[in-house]
Amino acid sequence: MKGTMLNSLDRVFEAIPFDNGLDFGYCCVAKEQVLSFTLTNHATTGGSIRFNFETADNNFVVTPTQGAIAPRQKKEISIAFNSTEAKVIIGTMICRLAKGDEEKTRVLKMSAMSKYPFITLNQDKIDFESLLVGKVEQ
């Protein structure tokens, strides 16, 4: 039975979307986009679970990068994406969890596509409906 049960660190890792990665989708250049997930220490007794997150790409910023979660407590982790130019960005985040002498590390893939915002107009017809115009003096 013990082989089929998840240990406390594996249960915390369940909140992080390792299988699919974290995809920010389309984002506007110079506009921050934030995604988050919640880590939970499901233990009822014992020590805190320590966490540490590292990213190699400065377009992805994790908050907080490290800390501890006491038994029966939760901690929200936010990842902000921001780019100064239009491009596709694929990055990784190293996720480390530890409790006592046990430590586990996994890698989360993150992706985003930053684009410049744009508007397209129908060139055949532009309808402003009601339009307030100023008084013209001659």
- Helix (DSSP H) and strand (DSSP E) numbers for the chain: 1, 8
Q: Are 56 and 135 in contact (CB under 8 A)?
A: no
Per-residue pLDDT at 45 exceeds 50: yes
Residue 30 phi/psi, 5-degree rounding, is 65, 20
Strands of the 60-63 sheet, one edge to the other: 33-40, 74-81, 60-63
Least-confidence region, from 33-42, 93-102, 125-134: 125-134
pTM across the whole model: 0.77
Tell me the pairing of strands 74-81 and 22-28: unpaired
Q: Could you tell me if residue 131 is left (phi over 0), alpha (psi between -120 and 50 degrees) or otherwise beta?
A: beta
Q: Are 42 and 67 in contact (CB under 8 A)?
A: no
Band (4; pLDDT cuts 50, 70, 90): very low
Q: For the chain, what percent of residues have pLDDT higher than 70?
A: 87
Topology of domain 2-115, CATH: Immunoglobulin-like (2.60.40)
Q: Could you give the CA distance from residue 48 to residue 65 in angstroms, rounded to a whole number? A: 16
Band (120; pLDDT cuts 50, 70, 90): confident
Q: For the chain, what percent of residues have pLDDT higher than 90?
A: 63
Looking at residue 104, its amino acid is K
Q: pLDDT digits over 53-102, tens only? A: 999 888 999 999 999 999 999 999 999 999 999 999 999 999 999 998 99
Domain boundaries, the chain: 2-115
